Amino acid sequence: MLAFDLRSLVTQFDSDATEHEQVVLFQDPASDLKGFVAVHSTALGPALGGVRFHSYADEGQALADVLRLSRGMSYKNALAGLDFGGGKAVLIGDPERIKTEELLLAYGRFVASLEGRYVTACDVGTTPEDMEVIASTCSWTATRPMTSGGSGDPSVFTARSVLQGMKAAAVHRWGTPALQGRTVGIAGVGKVGRLLVEHLFEEGARVVVTDVRAEAVRRIAEKFPETTVVEDTKTLIRLEGLDVYAPCALGGALSDDVVPLLTAEVVCGAANNQLAHPGVERRLKERGILYLPDYVVNAGGVIQAAGGLRGATHRQTVAKVDRIFDTTLAILERAEAENILPGTAADRIAEQRIARAAHARTAAGSGQSIRPGRFA
Ligand code: NAD
């Protein structure tokens, strides 16, 4: 009965729902735990993706989010060259209010019951310290703190991968990876944005920032007094002389209203799901703006998480993150050659890799759904 209800709900919230291998509702009333896990694909390996803890308006909204995000992880992991499939979990409720050790342990027991089909990592509303708690009931856990031998906060490599994507865009648009003298506007200087600021100053770029939190802006201005601060994102995107716009706050930064106002020639940022709807990418192209799909350039964090799981060295992880430069360039070149959008080119590359792996699995006649993987 529950399976039937879930299926009808899944179809209601995601027309691509038939793509998902497994969608599970879990709950533990004793600890107020309630959420969903969606395993989109294990063709490339165990489904790897974060657990988002958020006060969703209702279960439908949480389900829609987990379906969309898990699908996105399949594409992100495939493009990053990882031997991991795509999955995601969402926990329903305000983490500030209901996140307890008891709840996290119950969540760990649930993930453990999936026996490795899904590997959980931190995301919005969860931290490496939470992963440490979860790890005591579940060995399928990534991004534990470095002090406990985990891969730690993924933001470090996310910022690095966004920089690599930006350099590839610079080659495609201006014929050189150099960002020296370019002006980059960053909306959102939280964990990823502030590290991106550091990278950009090292590259000799000019940096303009904005954030809704005065404290976040103050921190940047103190460390880098040469930073220009503007009042809000609307001011930032209309700034004369802006070369690159880097959305590093929330999703939906690129909407029908925003596109006509943009002065930047390139959009490349860390925020997930930047396009308010898929049609926005075409509007960006029509305005001559080069848009880099977020799931291509923000994969550094998941590469770091995967490296931690596979026992990769720091050097191996850095090398894999830096390959995002080549991947991004290949996507932009294919998009140009085939006269398609970068997002379409990226999707095709990911889908080909996933389909090849699924085919190889079927051809091998393996009853195993999850193959052992490699990293380098
Ligand atoms: P964060 O919460 O640390 O930082 C986000 C910042 O954006 C905050 O300082 C917040 O005050 C600011 N902000 C919120 N609304 C804003 C607005 N309207 N205008 C300007 N600033 C605003 O998050 P983060 O970890 O830095 O992640 C940033 C984005 O990158 C998110 O969309 C996240 O999903 C995505 N992402 C992060 C990682 C990672 O490793 N942390 C990996 C992949 C994708």
Asked whether 156 lines ligand 1 (CB < 6 A), one says no
Burial 272-296 (b: 16+ CB within 10 A, else e): bbbbbeeebbebbbeeebbbbbbbb
Range of the domain at 175: 155-299+327-348
Q: How many domains does the chain have?
A: 2
Whether 336 is in a domain gets the answer yes
Mutation test residue for ligand 1: of 53, 212, 267, the one with most atoms within 8 Å of CB: 212
Whether 200 is in a domain gets the answer yes
pLDDT tens by residue, 296-350: 999 999 999 999 999 999 999 999 999 999 999 999 999 999 999 999 999 999 9
CATH label of the domain that carries residue 72: 3.40.50.10860
Whether 322 is in a domain gets the answer no
Asked whether 193 lines ligand 1 (CB < 6 A), one says yes
pLDDT tens by residue, 244-303: 999 999 889 999 999 999 999 999 999 999 999 999 999 999 999 999 999 999 999 999
Confidence of residue 2 (pLDDT cuts 50, 70, 90): very low
The residue type at 66: V
Looking at residue 14, its pLDDT comes to 55
Same domain, 265 and 179: yes
Asked whether 50 lines ligand 1 (CB < 6 A), one says no
- Per-residue pLDDT for 189 more than 70? yes
d(CA 151, CA 173): 34
Whether 196 is in a domain gets the answer yes
**Residues designated catalytic:** 88
**Secondary structure class of 313 (helix, strand, coil):** coil
Residue 53 φ then ψ, to 5°: -110, 115
Mutation test residue for ligand 1: of 189, 191, 237, 324, the one with most atoms within 8 Å of CB: 191
Same domain, 270 and 223: yes
d(CA 341, CA 291): 9
The two structure tokens encoding residue 268: 């490349």
Q: Helices (DSSP H) in the chain: which residue ranges?
A: 2-13, 59-79, 95-98, 101-113, 128-135, 155-174, 191-202, 214-223, 233-237, 279-286, 294-297, 300-310, 314-322, 324-338, 342-364
- Per-residue pLDDT for 364 more than 70? yes
Question: Which of these ranges, 16-25, 97-106, 210-219, has the smallest mean pLDDT?
Answer: 16-25
Q: Round the average pLDDT of the chain to a whole number and report it.
A: 93
Q: Please report where in the chains the tokens 């029908």 appear, as a residue.
A: 256
Q: How far away, in angstroms, is 59 Cα from ligand 1 center?
A: 24
Same domain, 220 and 277: yes
Same domain, 13 and 130: yes
Looking at residue 1, its pLDDT comes to 34
Mutation test residue for ligand 1: of 96, 155, 215, 235, the one with most atoms within 8 Å of CB: 155
Atom nearest to 301 CA in ligand 1:
40
The two structure tokens encoding residue 48: 């790897």
Looking at residue 3, its pLDDT comes to 45
d(CA 195, CA 178): 18
- Whether 192 contacts 210, CB under 8 Å: no
d(CA 269, CA 247): 5
- The structure's pTM equals 0.92
Q: How far away, in angstroms, is 130 Cα from ligand 1 center?
A: 19
Asked whether 212 lines ligand 1 (CB < 6 A), one says yes
Whether 282 is in a domain gets the answer yes
d(CA 321, CA 349): 18
Same domain, 340 and 200: yes
